Amino acid sequence: GIQVEQSPPDLILQEGANSTLRCNFSDSVNNLQWFHQNPWGQLINLFYIPSGTKQNGRLSATTVATERYSLLYISSSQTTDSGVYFCALGEGNTPLVFGKGTRLSVIA
């Protein structure tokens, strides 16, 4: 099955800093999604991005499917960005496989 590796596993940032989270995967995929799990446990979908680049406010994501990686950029980080960021992948109609996540802590 698809292997998903996220890096770094943990990240501590000062408020206002920028960061890049990476997701590497082992096979071709046609379904890639980024999620944020906030400290209260809620999972929020950030992007559906099997290829290309998307932006939503201070967040943007790029997937280069041919090279099997996706990047999530967070600019001008805020304390509310804290939590765990997951990428999840699927191929065809197979269920999503989640990575282990990157735990982000933004300090004021």
Q: Would you tell me which residues interact with another protein (CB under 8 A)?
A: 30-31, 33, 35, 41-45, 48, 86, 88, 90, 93-98, 100-101
**Least distance to another protein, CB of residue 18, Å:** 25
**Least distance to another protein, CB of residue 15, Å:** 26
Residue that the structure tokens 């996220």 belong to: 6
Nearest to 37 by CA among 3, 76, 6, 67: 6
Distance CA 52, CA 39 (A): 29
Of 25 and 86, the one with the shorter C-beta distance to another protein is 86
